[in-house]
Amino acid sequence: MFNAIAFPFLKASITCGIAAAIILALLSLATRVWPVLAGHRSVWLWSQAAIACAFVLALLPHSASYSVLPAIEIERAVASAPAPLQYAGAGEADGAEDDVDAIELLAQAWLALYAAGLLAAGARWVHAQRGLRALLASARALDAAALAQHAGFGAEPVAALLRRGLRVSETDAAISPMLTGLARPHLLLPRHLRSFSDEQQRLIVAHELTHWQRRDPLWLHAGMLLQTLFWFNPLLAVLTRRLNWAQELGCDRAVLAGRPTQQRKQYAAALVAQLKVQQESFCAPVASIAFGHGNAASLRARVSLIREQGLRAPGLPGKAAVAGALVSVLGASLLLQPAFAWRAPESTAPAASTSATVASAPQQWQMPLDRVRVTSFYGAARKNLEGGHHGIDFAARTGTPVLAAASGTVVTSSAQYEGGPQYGDVVLIEHANGVRSLYAHLSVRSVQPGQVVRAGDMIGLAGETGKVTGPHLHLEAFRNGERIDPQQMLTSLDAYATSQALRKRPAKP
């Protein structure tokens, strides 16, 4: 039986990877055709949010029913002898005694590996934060008087900045000027910045303060959090780097707007000088936005954009196109997500040559679930339901394999059963002697009309489609078109019923 957590998580992880690959490919193509998109952080923020949404959507209980791909069928192991019917009591763990399949082991192993990877990613984050705190602790705090004398703050209202909670420190480390901190921003300036011209210092400080005004540290932390949670998806790291690049370009654009060519040249020269100072000496800490952080190639591209007056805004049409593409990818990830389904192993007995042979075989109904717990009997009183409950309800978590109660031919496999939308996804099977069985509220249907099935074949997965209060299997039975009590075909259900179901069952005539 599927593990209640491992299989949905494996499916969501695969969907997340597929969505990330599609989104990155589309954005790479879009930025080549429309280069302005690369320099706007909203594009990369939306893309990361879309990947996270694709993961969450794939975890939802009903998501597999939207997939247009055929279910990946996994053959269940065969016991050497028929196993006795087991009662899934409230204190038992589902699947504790189920046969373990290779795919199930893979899902469980992946869940364990993810947990280990998450711990490792968290440990790296903590290690980086410790390094950053150590760097900040070794720096000298600059008060209002010191800032007033610093060339970089010549045009800034120092007192107002400090009242708003900004902290400024200076370090001897050969780092790039950087803004760090989430709740309370901390601007860390290198001592060597004083060797730059006054104009360059003012432009650099204005760049870092622009990050603060744009709330870039918040979005940087959000990106790093997603990268930590989805550590197994390297494409998120690529998107985070492109987000950082877009943030830097956005600040460049804001700081240099309306400035003369001479100041643009000073700004570009400051970038080059900063790269020379910090090369082979220091890397920017995690969760910090650094003025000159990056490699020589990225800084050359930045300098080129500065000289060319930067990238223009994409405007509403460009943003709308990106938003539409991301929504389409979300829809595609929902429709193309993988779905797993169990099937019973092929019988070693000679197969019937036609469906008529199967239909005429003697019928012996078996339980539609491996583990049985009856929560409502046929005829139990139901509000606004004349004649009481029309079938038998079995407790079953979403994703539990549903088995054919007897051999027959599938008549209906649909999400729009003629009995009404309250049934949700339904499979209806025609058996011998005018008898039919109906299985409702399925999350996945793995058979098609006209398909011949044998008793015990997997026909779908339990769920909560239709009008229900929770996941379960609803079973109905018919003879010659008339609804009958399924207990006529299934015996000994009392031993597997809840006390509430027994109390509400109508008295036998």
Pairing of strands 167-171, 140-141: antiparallel
Task: Return the CATH number at 388.
Answer: 2.70.70.10
Contact 459, 427 (CB under 8 A): yes
Q: Report the domain count for the chain.
A: 1
* Distance between CA atoms of residues 471 and 241, nearest Å: 42
Evaluate whether residue 243 is within a structural domain: no
pLDDT value at residue 449: 93
Q: How far apart are CA 227 and CA 215, in angstroms?
A: 19
Nearest Cα to Cα of residue 445 among 467, 470, 417: 417
pLDDT in tens, 223-263: 888 989 999 999 988 988 888 888 888 888 888 888 888 88
Whether the Cβ atoms of residue 391 and residue 423 lie closer than 8 Å to each other:
no
Q: What is the pLDDT along the chain (509 residues), one digit of tens a residue?
A: 344 577 778 888 988 888 888 888 888 888 887 777 777 888 888 888 888 988 888 787 655 555 555 555 444 443 333 333 433 333 333 333 333 456 678 888 898 999 999 999 889 888 888 888 888 899 999 988 888 888 888 766 888 888 888 899 999 888 888 888 877 889 999 898 888 888 888 888 888 888 888 888 888 888 888 989 999 999 988 988 888 888 888 888 888 888 888 888 888 888 777 777 766 454 555 455 555 555 555 666 676 667 665 555 555 665 666 666 667 666 665 555 555 544 444 444 444 444 444 444 445 689 999 888 898 898 887 766 666 888 999 999 888 999 999 999 999 999 888 888 889 999 999 998 899 999 999 999 999 999 999 999 999 999 989 888 889 999 999 999 899 999 888 878 888 888 888 888 887 65
Is 340 inside a domain boundary? no
Q: Do the domain assignments include residue 88?
A: no
In a domain, 435, yes or no: yes
Please name the helix (run of DSSP H) or strand (run of DSSP E) that holds residue 235, with its range, or none: helix 234-256
Stated pTM of the model: 0.57
Q: What pLDDT, on the 0 to 100 scale, is given for residue 460?
A: 94
370 vs 53: CA distance, rounded Å: 34
Residue 446 lies in a domain: yes
Specify the pLDDT at position 139. Answer: 92
Check if the beta carbon of residue 111 is closer than 8 Å to that of residue 9.
yes
- Domain annotation covers residue 373: yes
Which among 386, 445, 374 has a CA at the least distance from the CA of 416? 445
Q: Does a structural domain hold residue 491?
A: yes
| Contacts for 150 with CB less than 8 Å, ≥ 6 apart | 142, 189, 194, 201
Residues 77, 353 contacting (CB under 8 angstroms) = no
What is the number of other CB atoms lying within 10 angstroms of the CB of residue 311? 18
Whether 159 is covered by a domain: the verdict is: no
Whole-number pLDDT of residue 446: 93
Please give the C-alpha separations between residue 230 and each of 21, 220, 222, 224, 314, in angstroms, as whole numbers.
Answer: 14, 15, 12, 10, 29
pLDDT digits (tens, 9 = 90+) for 75-104: 444 333 333 343 333 333 333 333 345 667
Retrieve residue 42's tokens.
């909203």
Domain that holds residue 497: 349-504
Q: Are 320 and 47 in contact (CB under 8 A)?
A: no
Question: What residues pair up with 393 in beta bridges, in sequence order?
Answer: 376, 474
